[in-house]
Amino acid sequence: MSQSVRVLAAQCCFDIIDNGLSMSEALPRAQAKLSNDLDKALLQEICFGVMRYLPQLEAATSQLMVKPLVKQLRPLQFLLYVGIYQLKFMRIPDHAAISETVEAARALKGQSLTKLINAVLRNVQRHPGIFDFNDAVDAVRFNHPGWLIKQLQQAYPEQWQDILLANQHKAPLWLRVNANVISAADYSAALTAEDIEHQQPIAAMPTAIVLKQAQDVSQLPGYDLGWFSVQDAAAQYAATLLDVKNNHLILDACCAPGGKTCHIAELAPGAKITALDKEPKRLTRVHENLARLNLKATVIAADAAQPDTWWQGQQFDRILLDVPCSATGVIRRHPDIRWLRKNNDIPTLVALQQQILQHCWPLLAPGGRLLYATCSVLPAENQQQISDFLAQHPDARLEPIQHQPDSTTIGWQILPNEQQLDGFYYALLVKDSKD
């Protein structure tokens, strides 16, 4: 491993935690400084790992140092976490992990700290008890912020620990086969022909394929031919639950990067789809995805909560509201979310979701379906949001979703790693046809 991987890992983690960048901003920027794909993958593994185990890495370090490194030395504090993460969680020989982390300290202008860094890492290596957190406070034992643990404990008294442990897993790579181009059976055969182990574990959705091992998707059969998209199977339920038809007028009101827009277009290529997102920059990906899959939609940069600025006046048969949310259901996939998201973000998100719901509801035709979706596990964004909406809209009826384990719950909450899926929430609303 080159020294620069560790330097970049420390800087990347510093950028996320201290400067508030997301992993999806910080990591590609750091990876661009590496030429070798193995180094890029290694950098990702270390950065993801430090985010997953940050409280334990901090706690171990604090046992071995009088005080943490601060101000301009902060990147070196993160370098210590990078070093300890390698010792505790990676199959890198200890001597290599230690010596190269110490070398990286020099590159981070920490010449005077090399002895300290060496001593901390050697102590972690020699005293495994330093990394025993079975009796630690929950935030350290489960590697999540206290506010989130508290919310999960309240919402899921029986399952909160399972959710926190599930979030420490790596998310599997799911594909969605583009059945317009190739059948799921033929695509499965194409994977088998290349010795790519996979499963189609959801009987109701054979186009959802999970790979046994994640890999470079551009190397999978048919990538350039649009045979498949990368999409978690939980997200693949959206288009199927909407029950889209070729004669429908469809609104995807929060569409970027376009995963669900494309799925809707695959299932109903004749439908007229309007795909909207407030962030013009994010729409580039929507155009790219539509082009790769040879699909069509009218793509507009606009605010779903202000239809006066973009709506042509014709009601939609189907509306998908995949609203901005806390993303607390996809922490497996984005381990930085738990540190970037703050408790006081939640009421702001709930208010935004409510605005979008309220303003899009009149756009739905009588008898039409609106699917509300989040990748959150917090009831305030999910069941509570929908329960409040139903109380204020007598023309809205909640349709039970056939997959939900209990038909009496408000919507379908999928918990992270349940059937290998991301945490997701769906509520299907039908508009009274007497409107």
**Torsion of Cα atoms, 255 then 346 then 240 then 213, to 10°:** 90
**CA atoms lying within 13 Å on the CB side of residue 125:** 19
- Our measurement of the distance from residue 352's CA atom to the centroid of its chain's CA atoms, rounded to an integer in Å, reads 19
- Is 375 an active-site residue? yes
Residue 210: C-alpha distances to residues 177, 206, 230 (Å): 11, 10, 10
DSSP for residue 104: H
The residue within the footprint of ligand SAM, chosen from 33, 74, 150, 282 (CB under 6 A), is: 282
Q: At residue 313, what are phi and psi to the nearest 5 degrees? A: 100, -5
The residue within the footprint of ligand SAM, chosen from 40, 144, 260, 338 (CB under 6 A), is: 260
d(CA 429, CA 398): 5
The residue within the footprint of ligand SAM, chosen from 175, 208, 220, 255 (CB under 6 A), is: 255
Q: In 127-183, which residue ranges form alpha helices assigned H by DSSP?
A: 138-141, 146-155, 160-166
Q: Which of residues 121-160 bind ligand SAM (CB under 6 A)?
A: none
The residue within the footprint of ligand SAM, chosen from 97, 233, 276, 337 (CB under 6 A), is: 276
Query: Contact between 303 and ligand SAM (CB under 6 A)?
Result: yes
Q: Of 431, 429, 422, give the one whose Cα is nearest residue 374.
A: 422
* Residue 150 or 282 having the CB closest to ligand SAM: 282
Considering 47, 255, 325, 375, which one is annotated as catalytic? 375
The residue within the footprint of ligand SAM, chosen from 258, 335, 379, 416 (CB under 6 A), is: 258
The residue within the footprint of ligand SAM, chosen from 15, 317, 322, 336 (CB under 6 A), is: 322
Shortest distance, CB of residue 272 to ligand SAM, whole angstroms?
Answer: 18
Shortest distance, CB of residue 256 to ligand SAM, whole angstroms?
Answer: 4
Residue with smallest beta-carbon separation from ligand SAM: 254
Beta sheet of 208-211, edge-to-edge order: 198-199, 208-211, 174-177, 228-230
User: Which tokens sit at 156?
Assistant: 């899921």
Shortest distance, CB of residue 373 to ligand SAM, whole angstroms?
Answer: 8
With left for phi above 0 and alpha for psi between -120 and 50, is residue 280 left, alpha or beta? alpha
Q: Which of residues 324-343 bind ligand SAM (CB under 6 A)?
A: 324
Shortest distance, CB of residue 319 to ligand SAM, whole angstroms?
Answer: 12
The residue within the footprint of ligand SAM, chosen from 259, 411, 416, 423 (CB under 6 A), is: 259
d(CA 18, CA 38): 27
Q: In 226-372, which residue ranges form alpha helices assigned H by DSSP?
A: 233-242, 259-267, 283-293, 337-340, 345-360
Query: Contact between 431 and ligand SAM (CB under 6 A)?
Result: no
Shortest distance, CB of residue 350 to ligand SAM, whole angstroms?
Answer: 13
Query: Contact between 51 and ligand SAM (CB under 6 A)?
Result: no
Q: Give the SS3 label for residue 311.
A: coil
Query: Contact between 120 and ligand SAM (CB under 6 A)?
Result: no
Query: Contact between 279 and ligand SAM (CB under 6 A)?
Result: yes
CB-based contact 259:289 (threshold 8 Å): yes
Shortest distance, CB of residue 264 to ligand SAM, whole angstroms?
Answer: 10
Query: Contact between 305 and ligand SAM (CB under 6 A)?
Result: yes
Q: Which of residues 187-246 bind ligand SAM (CB under 6 A)?
A: 235
The residue within the footprint of ligand SAM, chosen from 40, 88, 198, 278 (CB under 6 A), is: 278
Active site residues: 375
- Enumerate binding residues for ligand SAM (CB under 6 A): 235, 253-260, 276-279, 282, 303-305, 322, 324, 356
